[in-house]
Amino acid sequence: MKKNLNLRKIKVILIIILLNLFVVSALIFTISCSSNKSKGTETSIAAGSQSNQNGQNSQGSSASNSSELSTSSTSTSKQETTTTQQIPPDIAQMISEADNYYNNGQYAEAVSAYRKIKPAVESNSNLSDDMKNQIINSYSKNFDDAKTITETARMHYGNAMQLEYEKRIQEAVKELEEALKVYPKYQDAIDKLDSIKSLYKLK
């Protein structure tokens, strides 16, 4: 009888222990599952975030590439426009020759050379109106300066001729000297001054 009671107690204790083990293992299993789920969620969130970033980066890269292509095409079109609107060689040569006269102080020759450029530019059908204006404006200041110098020098020269005719020689000499101050390479004034000084024995 006592043996049976002892056996029953042992069985009850074993059952309780087994139940406790089952409950503990069930708890451990539940905790580990929830932990794995949270990790999985974090991983998916991180993956989604990275995917978004990659998408944004690819969009940014695409926009950047598009911008670069746009800039490149713009600069190419500008270069093409410039190339097609370059100054024709014959006109460039005319401007160069006129500028050389101007820079060398040969103002009358410069005026004559500059005057030939405008008709050549305006008659060139390959140039746009805007380009024609740009070419003409590029030399207009030198042209105007050369005209002012030659006109002023010729005015003094004309005065000298009148004064010489009136036998006012000293005044004629001064007018010629004024002409040469403005236009030192004015050959007519140089020759006339030398002639008057030689004729009237002037220094």
pLDDT digits (tens, 9 = 90+) for 122-170: 999 999 999 999 999 999 999 999 999 999 999 999 999 999 999 999 9
Residue 167 Rama label (left phi>0; alpha psi -120 to 50; beta): left
What is 89-199's CATH topology?
Answer: 1.25.40
User: Do 183 and 150 meet the contact criterion of CB atoms below 8 Å apart?
Assistant: yes
pLDDT digits (tens, 9 = 90+) for 42-91: 444 444 444 444 444 444 444 444 444 344 444 433 333 333 468 999 99
User: Do 146 and 114 meet the contact criterion of CB atoms below 8 Å apart?
Assistant: yes
Residue 30 banded pLDDT, cuts 50, 70, 90: confident
Q: What pLDDT is attached to residue 15?
A: 75
Q: In the predicted model, what is the mean pLDDT of the chain?
A: 78
User: Do 71 and 63 meet the contact criterion of CB atoms below 8 Å apart?
Assistant: no
Q: Percentage of the chain surpassing pLDDT 70?
A: 64
Instruction: Tell me, yes or no, if the pTM score tops 0.85.
Output: no
